[in-house]
Structure 1
């Protein structure tokens, strides 16, 4: 089956759900940071905040991949 590890996927689902909630918060922060950095380009901190928010948006996929990689077979 290749890289299919259903046990790791099932173990990671609750954590991915929590990360999904955090990613929604990250999406809102990203939108606000993007708008602020467009309105005032001198606000470098808003661009950094938007980059951190993008990491929050990618968090559920990262968590699921980590759990799947931890299960050997």
Structure 2
């Protein structure tokens, strides 16, 4: 079956751009968390920080997928 949501991408683009900025922030946090966990392996909070950063990096794909699914056919 054909997908009939051609404008979903264009309408969701502003949300995806905001999510893209958050993913860049997530990448920076992930790098800092990785460096901190290498310097001080006893710091367990860096693991949670790295998981949060990975979630932020995946955010643009989740946002654009969610937004296009919300548009009725």
Give TM-score scaled by structure 1 length.
0.89
Point out where structure 2 has 5 or more consecutive residues left out of the alignment. none
Runs of 4+ in structure 1 deviating by more than 4 angstroms, as ranges, are none
Residues 1:44 and 1:72: Cα distance change in structure 2 (over 3 Å): same
Please provide the CA RMSD for this pair: 1.4
Point out where structure 1 has 5 or more consecutive residues left out of the alignment. none
Q: Give the C-alpha shift of residue 38 in structure 1.
A: 1.6
Number of residue pairs the alignment of both structures matches: 73
Counterpart of 2:65?
Answer: 65
1:11-69 residue CA offsets vs partner (Å, 9 max, x unmatched): 11001001111111110000000111122111110110011011111111100000111
Question: Structure 2: how far apart are the matches of 1:58 and 1:4?
Answer: 25
Residues 1:41 and 1:2: Cα distance change in structure 2 (over 3 Å): farther
Residues 1:35 and 1:15: Cα distance change in structure 2 (over 3 Å): same
Question: Structure 1: how far apart are the matches of 2:44 and 2:57?
Answer: 20
Residues 1:61 and 1:4: Cα distance change in structure 2 (over 3 Å): farther
